Structure formats: structure tokens, C-alpha cells
């Protein structure tokens, strides 16, 4: 009889970050990792160490910061990838290397250009090499959903003998139906027995990722790989919150299955991830969408008021969603503010609380009502703040009357000195970007711009997300800005991207210096 404990393997920081526009800086990744730990995630796939120095740095720092969850790095079945992964997770209290190679005929023939025998040999060598860095090694059959089951049994048997402790079966292109994935897992689970843990990683191309994951659990999978809000390549991955709440809500069907997830942290985690990535779940998204616990129909409203379970199969409070949101205002004190943050699930250092409280008081003077989502946005911006190479102190815009020329003036603090300048542009935003470029001496090219209302009302805060390229040889950098004034939020977002770029350059210089000294 298999153990019915389901291991939750979160890959928001790796596969989730591969969602178009979802890239994060190191500080943001650390905050998400700490929140995933608080959520009770068993394994955090922190990234792909060999992908870039930035990824390596982020994984290394997460490995040092996280103590209650296992920290994992992905690696192709290549020695250089595995070495980078091993070194990146070396300082983790609990670590894992996750190595993979494609096993479908189409991948082996056209991508790898290898025979099945060569693929097995490569997989075994990868697992054996990974074992020299850590005991816990996971092996994945890429494109398992379209792989021959007999061949997978052959390669899984070989990697078990080489030391693999978890065997992951991904439906990489989201092709399979629940009955098909269930049958594949049943066959492999019966073959493997108690020798290793069977894991699944389902993509959502046909909207079946969660259904497939649940079918796999019923057929012997004891680890599910998933992401917050279902983020991921193309149509995304199986959503962690949906899998966990399905297991919990339908205990009559999933009898005995348990996870370590603290469900009251589901909503705060979802909000943190959406705030950082700028990707909000669609309103009708299960569990965490803004309409998930809303009722428009008069019949539904009447029923819920009489008894919530008439139209709700779970409680909003179960996932950490507090409906009593208008509780703080400009007369609120520091103690009440700190207490409210605690009820929202935040545990901040005194310095972070002081900074967030100062910003809250400024906001309270600008807004009539302070909502929970306003507070979450404020705190998320505070705890993910990177070193401020350039700090925006003031922004002044000209009246853009018909026929007038838009202009922007800024005062920026840099190296303890205030620098003030002004510029004109083709529009207000263009003028803001031009004057910041001039003051900071670094030119950026705006690739994407997005603005959302954080909460509700005419005075709702604007959350601006920008993607900016400062160096054509490097990927675009994301920046976030928050303000009741959209243009001020825009300027903050651009400065935020610039600071991320400067911080990344500094880290790369330090890495190169260490490497040179090591040589």
C-alpha cells in the first residue's frame, strides 16, 4: 500500500517564470520562495542554474534563505548544467537536483538526434553525476506524455539503479486526457513499486492539467509539480491551489490523501505572485479569481445569505481571503497597522514595518478607503525592493493642453546627491522616460507597459508594470510602480527597472571578480 502523502513540488520560480512577461528579479524570487515555504510547499524548484548568472545567483540565495522546504534546481542531462545546479543548491538545508532528457520518439529523433540506447546512457550518467552533489536526485522523461511506456520503464529502471529517488512523468505539451495519463501512471507506478516516488508535471494546453494531475494521484503518483495561479509556458501548468483544494474539498473521493499545504496562505501567495509578475488570474479563475466567491444572481445571493453552502463548496476564509477589507484609515496607528498585516499573513522586520507604515500614511491621505489589496500591494513593493541606486524624489509634469509640448521634471537622489532636470517628449510618458535616462546616464527602450487598478473606486491605486531593455545583449528588465497617480507609478516602475538592471550588473561584476580571483 502506497503512502497517501502527496508531495507538492512548486515550480513557479522556474516554469512559472517562463510565462511571457513573468520574469522576476532576485529579490522578488526570494520573497516568493519565502512565501512558498510559509505556504507549506515541500519542494521549491528555484530555477535553472545553468540558464544565466542571474538564475544561479537567485537559486543560491534562495538556498540560503529557505530552511523548511527542499530547494531544487533544474538541469539538462549535461555535466555543465548539473555542476551549476549542484553548486547553486549546495547551501540549502535540504536540496535536490532535477535532471531531465527527452524520451519521446519525435524528440529523440529530431531534437536530440540520439538513439534510445544513447538516451538511456546519457540519463544514467546524469543521475550518477548529480549524486556526487546531493543525495536527492529527481529524473524527468521530457515529453513523457508522447513517449512509449515500455521505453520509459527501461529508462526509469536504469536511473533508479543509478540513484534517482523521484521519477517525474511530464505531459510536456499538455496532450493527454485524464484517463490516458492515469493509465500511464498506473503502469509505471506498478512497475516501479516502492523503489522511487512517481511524480507528474502536467501542462494546460487543453485545459486538463489539474484533472490530469488528480487522475495521476489516483493511479499512484505521490508528487505533483504545479505553480501558483497556474503560471507557466504557453497555457500554463497545473494550478497548485486547485489541486490542493480539490483534494481537501472532495475528501469523500480522495480519501486519505494529505498535503502539507497551509491553505490559509493560498490567497496571500496568489496575490504576491500576481503582484510581482504583473499577471493577474482571470476573474473566473477557480479558487483565487476575484469572482471565485462572488455572487451576481439574485437567487444565488439569497441562498448564500441564508446558508453559505447553498452555493459555495468552500469558505473564502479557508484560503486566507478576508472579506472585511475596509478597516484602516488615516487615523490608524502603527499598532493597528502591524496587527492588520499579521492577519493578512505578513511577518515583517521592524524596519520593513516602519517603511511600509510611512507609505501607508501617505496613501491614507490620498485615498478615502484603504482595502486589503492596497495593503498587500504596499507590502509586496516594500519587501521586494532592491538596492536603490537611483531614488525618485519628485516628479512634476506640465499641463498637456491641445497644441502644447508635454514635459517632465524629476529630482533623483544618487550617491547622496539630488539631481534635477527636465525634458520634453512626444507624450507625457515619453518625457518621463527621457528625463530619467538623461539624469541617470542610462538609456532604456520600453518593450511593454501595463497598468492595473489595485483595488476599487475612483481613487484606486495604479500598479504599473514595465519591461525595459537597457542592453540589447541582455533580456528585458521588469519594473513595478505603485501610486494613486498613474504617471508617478509609471516613473517609479521605470526607475525600478533601472535599479534592477544596475543591481544585476553589480552582481555579475562580483561573480566575475570571484571567478578571476579563483583562477
Mean pLDDT of the chain: 88
What does the pLDDT read at residue 297?
43
Q: Is the dihedral of CA 198, 204, 210, 214 positive or negative?
A: negative
Q: Which of 46, 82, 87, 86 is nearest to 66 (CA)?
A: 46
Residue 326: CB atoms within 10 A of its CB come to 11
Q: Is 119 exposed, middle or buried (0-12, 13-18, 19+ CB in 10 A)?
A: buried
How far apart CA 240 and CA 244 sit, in angstroms, is: 6
pLDDT (tens, 9 = 90+) of the chain, 519 residues, equals 467 999 999 999 999 888 766 778 888 899 999 999 999 999 999 999 999 888 999 999 999 999 999 999 999 999 999 999 999 999 999 999 999 999 999 999 999 999 999 999 999 999 999 999 999 999 999 999 999 999 999 999 999 999 999 999 999 999 999 999 999 999 999 999 999 999 999 999 999 999 999 999 999 999 999 999 999 999 999 999 999 999 999 999 999 999 999 999 999 999 999 988 888 899 899 999 877 765 444 444 445 345 555 656 678 788 887 654 445 777 778 877 887 787 777 777 888 888 888 888 888 887 777 777 788 778 877 777 777 899 999 999 986 666 678 899 999 999 999 999 999 998 899 999 999 999 999 999 999 999 988 877 777 888 898 989 998 888 788 888 888 899 999 999 999 899 888 887 877 776 666 556 554
Cell numbers that stand for 265 in this block = 496562505
How many angstroms separate the Cα of 490 from the Cα of each of 332, 372, 392, 430? 28, 22, 11, 11
DSSP H helical ranges for 193-283 = 209-218, 240-249, 266-277
Phi/psi at 136 (5° precision): -90, 105
How far apart CA 378 and CA 461 sit, in angstroms, is: 10
What does the pLDDT read at residue 515?
59
Q: Does the predicted model carry a pTM greater than 0.85? A: no
Q: Which residues pair with 394 in a beta bridge?
A: 411
Q: Which residues pair with 7 in a beta bridge?
A: 223
Q: Is the dihedral of CA 173, 16, 236, 180 positive or negative?
A: positive
What does the pLDDT read at residue 357?
87
Instruction: Decide if 419 contacts 411 (C-beta within 8 A).
Output: yes
**What length is written for the chain?**
519
What does the pLDDT read at residue 369?
72
Instruction: Decide if 375 contacts 357 (C-beta within 8 A).
Output: no
Q: Which of 431, 413, 430 is nearest to 422 (CA)?
A: 431
DSSP E strand stretches across 56-207: 70-76, 95-102, 137-142, 166-171, 197-202
DSSP E strand stretches across 108-154: 137-142
Q: Which of 422, 341, 417, 418 is nearest to 383 (CA)?
A: 341
Say how far residue 214 (Cα) sits from the centre of its chain: 22
- DSSP 8-class letter at 108: I
DSSP E strand stretches across 129-217: 137-142, 166-171, 197-202
What does the pLDDT read at residue 345?
72
Containing 62, the helix (H) or strand (E) segment is: helix 53-65
Q: Is 338 exposed, middle or buried (0-12, 13-18, 19+ CB in 10 A)?
A: middle
Instruction: Decide if 166 contacts 223 (C-beta within 8 A).
Output: yes
Maximum CA extent, the chain: 78
Residues annotated in the binding site for Mn(2+), as ranges?
15, 201, 203, 237
Q: Is the dihedral of CA 500, 504, 505, 506 positive or negative?
A: positive
Residue pLDDT, tens place only, 269-279: 999 999 888 88
Instruction: Decide if 261 contacts 41 (C-beta within 8 A).
Output: yes
What does the pLDDT read at residue 378?
81
How far apart CA 160 and CA 191 sit, in angstroms, is: 12
Residue pLDDT, tens place only, 52-75: 888 999 999 999 999 999 999 999
How far apart CA 199 and CA 270 sit, in angstroms, is: 23
Residues annotated in the binding site, as ranges?
15, 201, 203, 237
How far apart CA 405 and CA 428 sit, in angstroms, is: 9
Amino acid at each position: 500500500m502506497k503512502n497517501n502523502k502527496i508531495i507538492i513540488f512548486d515550480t513557479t520560480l522556474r516554469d512559472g517564470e517562463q510565462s511571457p512577461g513573468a520574469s522576476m528579479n532576485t529579490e522578488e524570487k526570494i520573497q516568493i520562495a519565502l512565501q512558498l515555504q510559509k505556504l507549506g510547499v515541500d519542494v521549491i524548484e528555484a530555477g535553472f542554474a545553468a540558464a544565466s548568472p542571474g538564475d544561479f545567483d537567485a537559486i543560491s540565495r534562495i538556498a540560503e534563505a529557505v530552511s523548511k522546504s527542499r530547494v531544487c534546481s533544474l538541469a539538462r542531462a549535461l555535466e555543465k548544467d548539473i555542476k551549476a545546479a549542484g553548486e547553486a543548491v549546495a547551501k540549502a538545508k535540504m536540496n535536490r537536483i532535477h535532471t531531465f532528457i527527452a524520451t519521446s520518439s519525435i524528440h529523440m529523433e529530431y531534437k536530440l538526434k540520439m538513439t534510445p540506447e544513447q538516451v538511456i546512457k546519457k540519463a544514467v550518467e546524469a543521475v550518477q553525476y548529480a549524486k556526487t552533489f546531493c543525495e536527492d536526485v529527481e529524473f524527468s522523461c521530457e515529453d513523457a506524455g508522447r513517449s512509449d511506456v515500455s521505453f520509459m520503464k527501461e529508462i526509469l529502471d536504469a536511473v533508479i539503479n543509478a540513484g534517482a529517488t523521484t521519477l517525474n512523468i511530464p505531459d510536456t505539451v499538455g496532450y493527454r486526457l485524464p484517463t490516458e495519463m492515469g493509465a500511464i501512471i498506473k503502469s509505471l507506478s506498478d512497475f516501479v513499486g516502492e523503489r522511487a516516488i512517481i511524480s507528474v508535471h502536467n501542462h494546460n494546453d487543453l485545459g486538463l492539467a489539474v484533472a490530469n494531475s488528480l487522475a495521476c494521484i489516483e493511479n499512484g503518483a505521490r508528487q505533483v509539480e504545479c505553480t501558483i495561479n497556474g503560471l507557466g509556458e504557453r497555457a500554463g501548468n497545473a494550478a497548485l491551489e486547485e489541486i490542493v483544494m480539490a483534494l481537501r474539498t472532495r475528501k469523500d473521493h480522495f480519501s486519505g490523501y494529505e498535503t502539507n499545504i497551509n491553505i490559509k496562505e493560498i490567497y496571500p501567495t496568489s496575490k504576491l505572485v500576481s503582484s510581482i509578475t504583473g499577471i493577474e488570474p482571470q476573474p473566473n479563475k477557480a479558487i483565487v479569481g476575484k469572482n471565485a466567491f462572488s455572487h451576481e444572481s439574485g437567487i444565488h445571493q439569497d441562498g448564500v445569505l441564508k446558508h453559505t453552502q447553498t452555493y459555495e463548496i468552500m469558505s473564502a476564509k479557508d484560503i486566507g481571503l478576508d472579506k472585511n477589507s475596509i478597516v484602516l484609515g488615516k487615523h490608524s496607528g502603527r499598532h493597528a497597522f502591524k496587527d492588520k498585516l499579521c492577519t493578512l499573513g505578513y511577518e515583517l522586520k521592524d524596519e520593513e514595518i516602519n517603511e511600509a507604515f510611512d507609505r501607508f500614511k501617505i496613501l491614507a491621505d490620498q485615498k478615502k478607503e484603504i482595502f486589503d489589496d492596497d495593503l498587500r500591494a504596499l507590502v509586496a513593493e516594500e519587501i521586494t525592493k532592491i538596492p536603490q541606486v537611483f531614488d525618485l524624489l519628485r516628479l512634476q509634469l506640465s499641463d498637456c493642453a491641445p497644441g502644447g509640448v508635454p514635459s517632465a521634471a524629476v529630482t533623483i537622489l544618487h550617491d547622496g546627491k539630488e539631481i534635477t532636470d527636465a525634458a520634453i517628449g512626444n507624450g507625457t510618458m515619453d518625457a518621463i522616460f527621457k528625463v530619467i535616462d538623461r539624469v541617470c546616464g542610462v538609456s532604456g527602450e520600453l518593450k511593454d507597459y501595463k497598468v492595473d487598478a489595485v483595488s476599487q473606486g475612483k481613487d484606486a491605486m495604479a500598479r504599473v508594470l514595465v519591461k525595459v531593455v537597457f542592453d540589447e545583449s541582455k533580456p528585458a528588465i521588469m519594473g513595478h510602480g505603485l501610486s494613486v497617480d498613474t504617471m508617478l507609478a509609471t516613473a517609479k516602475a521605470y526607475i525600478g527597472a533601472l535599479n534592477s538592471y544596475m543591481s544585476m550588473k553589480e552582481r555579475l561584476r562580483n561573480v566575475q571578480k570571484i571567478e578571476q580571483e579563483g583562477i
